[in-house]
Amino acid sequence: MTDPSPSPERAAASIELGRLMETAIDALPVAYRTVFMLRSVQELTVAETARCLDLTEGTVKSRLFRAKKLLQERLATQVERATPAVHAFDGERCDRLTQGVMARIGVNS
């Protein structure tokens, strides 16, 4: 059996992703953030959200669409900025990867 608990790396990545999402959601305009939270987090229906906010269902759908689009754009920008650091090879990590590759291709170092 495998250990169901995530590795420390996965746990840290999950926490960081949660922080990124919270920051991106907090940056949404209030009208979009409110609809996003009610629909996506609280899982209210479109009709329930419309009643809670005294909006039409079409407005709820439109705001949710726009909120998701803004979140997508913000998160994509953050990922693009972080990508170069993901594959930076240096020090121990580089040595470990090199040794792994060399071992797989049968070359002793």
CATH number of the domain residue 68 falls in: 1.10.10.10
Query: How many domains is the chain partitioned into structurally?
Result: 1
> H helices of 1-56, where?
8-26, 30-36, 46-53
Q: Rounded to whole angstroms, how far apart are CA atoms 11 and 32?
A: 29
* Residue 3 belongs to a domain: no
* Residue 37 belongs to a domain: yes
What are the φ and ψ backbone dihedral angles of 106, each rounded to 5 degrees?
85, 25
Report which residue type is found at 81: R
Provide the domain limits for residue 24: 8-83
Q: Rounded to whole angstroms, how far apart are CA atoms 46 and 108?
A: 62
- Residue 42 gets which letter from DSSP? S
pTM of the predicted model as reported, rounded to 2 decimal places: 0.67
Q: pLDDT per residue over 74-94, tens digit each?
A: 999 887 877 666 656 566 777
Q: pLDDT per residue over 5-62, tens digit each?
A: 777 878 887 888 889 899 999 999 999 999 999 999 999 999 999 999 999 999 999 9
